[in-house]
Amino acid sequence: MDVNKINGHSYYIKGGTNTGVYVFKDKSALVIDAGHTVGRGRRICSSLEENGMRARYVYTTHEHFDHYEAFQGIKQTAPHVEFIAHEMARPYIENLYIGKAYLVSSAPPKFQGKRADEATRYFSVDIPVNEKLTIKDRDFEIHHVPGHCMGQAVIITDDRVCYLGDSVFDRTIMAKYDMPFLYSIDYQRQSLEKIKNLDFDHGLIAHSKNVYSKSEIDKIIDENVEVLDRYEADIIEILKTPSSREEILQQLLVINEIECNFETYHYNYSTTGAFLASLAERNIIDYTYDQGKIYYYGI
């Protein structure tokens, strides 16, 4: 795997989840979003070694497993490596079952996820961060941007490179999944606005083929907002007829021709709930219980 330079000491390694690398003067490295699988962690260590670098810290932009499972592979190769995450992501990382369980509001059934052992694996966050991270006299800005999940926090290096994790969805992801996986629409809208106001030159989205300039990131953010607006308008239209959350989701999946498996259905179910919460907050919808069903409707 190539270690590609973005600017100054800031690099990235391509992957299903892109991995950021910041190299200090002594050639030790801060790895950002190590990615999925223990094997990838080992491969990251080999790639760094080929370039005279070595992993010393690993930061995850948020609590989703595909962003830090590889930490285990890095730890096997570099035992002194320390794991860094935002304080709001920490509870989910240290108790993986929380994220699994909130999707289905119970113990996860066997249909959920490829690997049943994920939920019982233990990770400990060595360095919880909030707004700033300083390592070897280098300052990194940390910005909490919840919405996709509660613990999302982007990191900006002194080379003006922002590692965005899943805070912004790339065009290819919006086309592939169409419905973005979101926990809170209101937080997501605030976070997208916040990212537009951050000061950086280069942005790396975790699931993307390209590094983007800040002005391109701003354009992609506008497209992310358009997707939110479109889904909200569709839900308001659907709720002219009182409908259950499952019925709303069914219509959205059919209208947008989205195919699901058990897990992706529940990501979309979560996003539907996030839209309902946002509409309720603004008194646009209300609900009624009738004959064993909760019906939502427009006011």
Query: Minimal distance in Å, beta carbon 3 to Zn ion?
Result: 21
Q: Does 64 bind Zn ion (CB under 5 A)?
A: yes
161: left (phi over 0), alpha (psi -120 to 50) or beta: beta
Give the binding-site size for Zn ion (rule: CB under 5 A): 3
Q: Which is nearer to Zn ion, 59 or 296 (CB)?
A: 59
Q: Which is nearer to Zn ion, 30 or 173 (CB)?
A: 173
Query: Minimal distance in Å, beta carbon 34 to Zn ion?
Result: 12
Choose the stretch contacting Zn ion; rule: CB under 5 A; options: 31-39, 105-113, 158-166, 253-261. Answer: 158-166
Burial 193-205 (b: 16+ CB within 10 A, else e): ebbeebebebbbb
CA dihedral of 231, 237, 238, 243, whole degrees rounded to 10: 110
Sign of CA dihedral 207, 209, 215, 219: negative
- Among 254, 253, 245, which Cα is nearest to 274's? 245
Query: Minimal distance in Å, beta carbon 163 to Zn ion?
Result: 12
Q: Which is nearer to Zn ion, 273 or 298 (CB)?
A: 273
Q: Which is nearer to Zn ion, 205 or 239 (CB)?
A: 205
Q: Which is nearer to Zn ion, 23 or 182 (CB)?
A: 182
Query: Minimal distance in Å, beta carbon 151 to Zn ion?
Result: 10
Query: Minimal distance in Å, beta carbon 36 to Zn ion?
Result: 9
Tell which one of 33, 69, 166, 170 touches Zn ion (CB under 5 A): 166
What ranges in the chain are assigned the alpha helix state H?
Answer: 38-50, 71-77, 90-94, 97-104, 171-177, 185-196, 214-238, 245-255, 262-281
Residues that bind Zn ion (CB under 5 A): 64, 66, 166
